[in-house]
Structure formats: structure tokens, C-alpha cells
Amino acid sequence: MSDIFFSKLWKTISKGMVWRGEICNQSKSGKLIWLDTTIIPSIDSTGKIVRYTAIRQNATERKLLETQLWAMNEMQRAILAGANYSIISTDTQGTIQTFNQAAEKMLGYPANEMIGEKTFLILHDPKEITKRAELLTQELKIPVQPGLEAIVAKARLKQEDENEWIYIRKDGTELPVKVSTTAIYDKNGILSGFLGISRDISESNRISKELIARKEEAIAASKTKSAFLANMSHEIRTPMNGIIGMTHLLLTETHESNNVEKLKIIQNCSVSLLELINDILDFSKLEAEKIELEMTPFSIHSVTLEMMELLKPRASEKGIQLVYQNADHPLSWITGDVTRFKQILTNLVANAIKFTESGSVEIFSTATHVAEKEWKIQFSVKDTGIGIPEDVKNKLFLPFSQVDASTTRRFGGSGLGLAISKGLCDKMGGTISVESEVGKGSTFSFTFNAPEAQPLNSTSDQNAFAGFDPEMGKKFPLRILIAEDNQTNQLVIKGLLGKIGYYPDLVSNGKEVLDILEKKKYDLVLMDCHMPDIDGFEATQQIIAKLGKSSCPMIFALSASKMKEDIDRCYASGMNGFLEKPIVIRSLIKVLFECSQKII
Ligand code: ADP
């Protein structure tokens, strides 16, 4: 204790006055001892101080408590002052008791204006309070009055609660915050108030709004891109239809070997070009997540053999043996997307033939039972070709990747096939992988799960029309109308139908279809979707509205666009089916047969 302290003490008692205060002594062990001390001077009759009486009481414990209390208060003050969060406490009636500096900054009110006011009258929009009360009613399953009760009810459950609120600032602007509300209880466990700690989330809201906007922009851009690709592929497919169809017709009419050779080259080139266009379209659809699987029953072995028939000429040209091993495959009929299955397998087998100079390409298939009537099917395509270096194996399934540029020049290809196959396998819930050794060969394998299916009676499509019957028109007569604005396409489809004994009428827009149907009856209309004046969709709707569904001819769309939306649109307008351009004679025959069966 300082000299000043003692001199003051001495001044008091030497004047004969009583001194009261705290004196701090140090014990022998060095511990501080506080004493509540009263010093009383005794004065004799002459007024002289004769003695001092000191009354002391140990106050060390109290002093310690006081120090702790002070430290806690100081800490509380520092927290309130230093926190970046707005801290507001209220009593049970919502009357503000604490309003820290961050709250002043966030809300624009000085603390002295707020203390004693009610939070829900100043800081909250009444509509928001009502909304919260409703939410709470649902949560608690008891009615909660708007206003304070909402918080009280929550606090009664002793729950801590972080919610998004909108505070209203002094200037009237809104401030989105995340508030965590805690109930405060007195020493008897009775609710005495609430503490709300809030942080400003306007910035994170702004960022997430910006992110959402960017995501939406990206989705829109991707949609535009896939619409563009679909449109382009439609535009390219239409003239391709003309080239492929006309070449096909010329090949059936030409007998000069020189010209047949040239026509075959045109045919091969146009088929490759069409494959490329289809790859780009498929890839863009996978990217835009627009591929839908079409589940139908089919025989895995028949489809594989069919695919082999198509690829056999390529293999024989190189002297490569093409073999199918399916001894370990106990089932044949499954339900799945036959087109996509064929596409993956064709890609793997075509690659195997492409990258093999001699030896063999073997296809293995196995099926393992995974659940009741559910199978895991695996196909492997093993070749004795050039093989793939280890470091590029994993990149093969990424788009546009080829082993090296010289390979590309020697063998051609877009580098999309495996990326598409991977995308399709993923979609089918399966996997695709490769094992390979440079110079020895590669084995590509893919799996997918599928339920087993009942074998279908296949007389309707496959067997009845395996060949090309020029008398079909006589056996299954049909009155056919073609609505197509492109003259080349008109000639192609007319020519194709002529080959199998059908002689259709031709019109070139929707209006002409409606006019001719007033005068003449047809069994089948092959309708181009995109035509001037009245397009195929609208023409179909008008025909159905006019004639009624029962006396309406069958209407099949002819379209170069294979996007799902376009196919859906055909069905939505009332069409019975869809024929894809370039028209494949087999699909056309199938449609004609179906129609002839329906009109009997
Ligand atoms: P594309 O064959 O059209 O270029 P793919 O995606 O089908 O595209 O194949 C990508 C690349 O993978 C090929 O260019 C080739 O380098 C390599 N590849 C694919 N299959 C084989 C195979 N069986 N043997 C060797 N290399 C292969």
C-alpha cells in the first residue's frame, strides 16, 4: 500500500477522527490478506489522543469475489464492445436491455435510443413476426401468437435457435441477418429474458444470389448450345437424307461396276459423316443431361449377332476373325435400351477392328444374378491390336481424346465414341473400363444392370421383313400421303416406297394436307414436322380436330431432329409415331407393316 494511503490515514486519525478502510497485508507465506479495518482514536479530557483501537475483519474472500466480478464485468464489456456480431438482450417482455456497438453500427441506432424500447416494435416487420409465429405453430403443434410469444414458446423448449430474420434499420432499409436466440434464466430457473446474437448476411446473400444468377446463366447457355447443336444436326441431316437416300436408290438401279464403285464410296462417306453428326448430337445431349433411356424387351444375343453382321465386312477386309462367346450367359431376353446397348457395343467392336491389323476380335458376354429377376450383364471386347499405353488409358473416356495425333491421322475418328459410351454406361447404372498392353491388344469391358424379360414373339418385325419385298404394297396395301416441303426428300421417300410397291401422293405443306384430306381418304400420312405455313404439328392437331381420332389416318412424323422435346412434341400433337431422317428402309417397312395391321 502506498505512502499516500498511509499519510491520508494518519491525517484522519491524528485529527481524532475514526478511519474506515481496507488494509492489505502480506502474510509470512507471501499471500495477500485484506482486512476491513476501523481505527478509533481515544481522546482524554485535555483533548489529547491517548490510544488507537483497531477493529479488523478478514475481507480477503470478499475482495477476491469482487475482483472476479469486476473481471467478469470487464470481460462482458469487452465482448460486447469488440464483437462483430450485434448482441441485443431483452427482458421477457422484449424490452431491450443491452444493445452493443456492433448493433449500433449494423442498425444505425445509438444504444441509448434503443435501451428500454421493445425489439419487435422497432426492429422487425410485423408481417415477418406473423410468418414466424405460423412456422412455430407448425413446429410446436400449438398455436403461437404473433410477437413475443413466438420467442417465448421457443425459449420454453430451452432450444437454441438460428434463424434468418430481416431487421429494419433506423433509415428504414432492410438488413438480412442470421440470429441465434438464447433464453436467459434467473437463479430460480425462471425465464428472465432473451439474448439475440445476429450477423449480417447481406454479403453472403448477395454472393449466393450472384452464384444462382450465374448458374442460371450457365444453364441457359448450355440449353442454347444444345438447342444450337440439335438445330445444326437437323440442318445437316436433312441434306444427308437426300444424299444417302438417292445413293441408295441409284445403287439399286445402277449395274455398271465403275459407277457402283463410285456410288459405294459416296455411300460410305455419307454414312461416316452421319455417324459423326450423330456422335456430336449424342455428346451434346449427354452434356445437357437430355438422354432418356427407352426400356423395351430385347434379346441380347440377337442384337449382338445383328451388330456383328454389320461389322463383319470391315473385319473380313482386314482378315480379322470376329467371334462371339456367350457360353457363360444364361439369359437372353432383358428389358433395356436396345439402341444404346447396340451403340456402346458397336463402338467398342468397331474400335477393336479399327485398331487391329491381324488376329481376332472376340466378344464375351456374361450375366450374374444380382436380385430376383435382376441381372448384371458384362460385355468384353478383346482385340489383338496395337494396344494403349498405360498413361493415356484413363484419358480415353474423356471427350476428344485420342492416343496420339498420328493415330488420329492413320485411323480417323472424332474421339467422342468412348466418352459417349461412358456417359451411356453411367446412365444405365453401369461402368466401362479397359485393360491393355501395347503391341499385344486391349480388352474393353462394360457392365449394366437389367431385369430379365419374357421373350417376344418376333414375327411382327424381324422375321417378316428380313428381306426387301417389292410386292409388299400388294400384300399390305395402304393409301399413303407424304407431306414434305423439301423436294429432294420427297423424291427419296417416294423412291424408297416405290421399291416396295407403294405409290404415295405428295404435298408440300400443312395446308395442302388439310385440303387433300377433305377430298381423299388415306391410311397413313408421313408428315414432315417443319414446313412453311402450317407445320406438321399444327396440321396434325387440325386433322384430328376435323376428322376425330377414330376416322383419322395414322400420322407418323418425318423428322431429322431426334431430340426428346421434338419427339414428345410429335406425340403431344396427336401423331402415332416417329420416323427418323435419313429414313432407313427397315424402319419404314416396320411402320408400314404396323399400319397395315391396325387398319385391318
Ligand atoms: P474415335 O475412335 O472416334 O477416335 P473413341 O472415343 O472411340 O474415338 O476412341 C478414342 C481413342 O481411343 C482412339 O482414337 C484410340 O486412340 C483409342 N482406342 C480406342 N479403342 C481402342 C482399341 N481397341 N485399341 C487401341 N486404341 C483404342
CA distance 223 to 216: 10
Distance 560 CA to ligand 1 centre (A): 28
The CATH code for residues 464-599 is: 3.40.50.2300
How far, in Å, from the CA of 402 to the mean position of ligand 1? 6
CA angle (310 as vertex; 305, 316 as ends), nearest 5: 100
Question: What are the residues whose beta carbons fall under 8 Å from the beta carbon of 94, sequence distance 6 or more?
Answer: 118, 119, 120, 147, 148, 151, 194
pLDDT value of residue 413: 64
Task: Name the DSSP class of 483.
Answer: E
Per residue in 482-525, pLDDT tens? 999 888 788 888 888 988 899 999 999 999 999 999 999 999 99
DSSP string of 332-401, one letter each residue: -EEEE-HHHHHHHHHHHHHHHHHT-SSSEEEEEEEEEEEETTEEEEEEEEEE-SS---GGGTGGGGSTT-
How many angstroms separate the Cα of 243 from the Cα of each of 26, 231, 528? 111, 19, 18
Q: Which residues partner with 296 through β-bridges?
A: 336
Distance CA(516)–CA(530), nearest Å, equals 19
Query: How many angstroms does the Cα of residue 282 sit away from the middle of ligand 1?
Result: 17
CATH number for the domain whose boundaries are 3-66: 3.30.450.20
Best residue among 396, 406, 420, 445 to mutate for probing ligand 1, ranked by most atoms within 8 Å of CB? 396
Q: What gap in Å lies between CA 105 and CA 87, rounded to an integer?
A: 11
Cis geometry, peptide bond prior to residue 582 (ω within 30 degrees of 0): yes
Choosing among 2.30.30.40, 3.40.50.300, 3.30.565.10, 3.40.50.1580, the CATH entry for 291-451 is 3.30.565.10
Q: The domain 83-200 belongs to what CATH superfamily?
A: PAS domain (3.30.450.20)
Domain ranges for the chain: 3-66, 83-200, 216-285, 291-451, 464-599
Q: Return the pLDDT at 511.
A: 93
What pLDDT sits at residue 140? 56
Looking at the CA of residue 404, tell me the nearest atom of ligand 1: 16
User: What's residue 132's pLDDT?
Assistant: 67
For residue 403, the model assigns a pLDDT of 63
Among 458, 490, 469, residue whose Cα is nearest residue 589? 469
Q: pLDDT at position 241, please?
A: 80
**In the prediction, which pLDDT does 466 show?**
42
CATH code reported for the domain at 216-285:
1.10.287
Where the chain has pLDDT below 70, the residues are: 129, 132-161, 230, 288, 328, 400-414, 456-468, 562-563, 599-600
CB distance 282 to ligand 1 below 6 Å? no
Does 83-200 match 3-66 at the fold level?
yes
Distance 264 CA to ligand 1 centre (A): 25
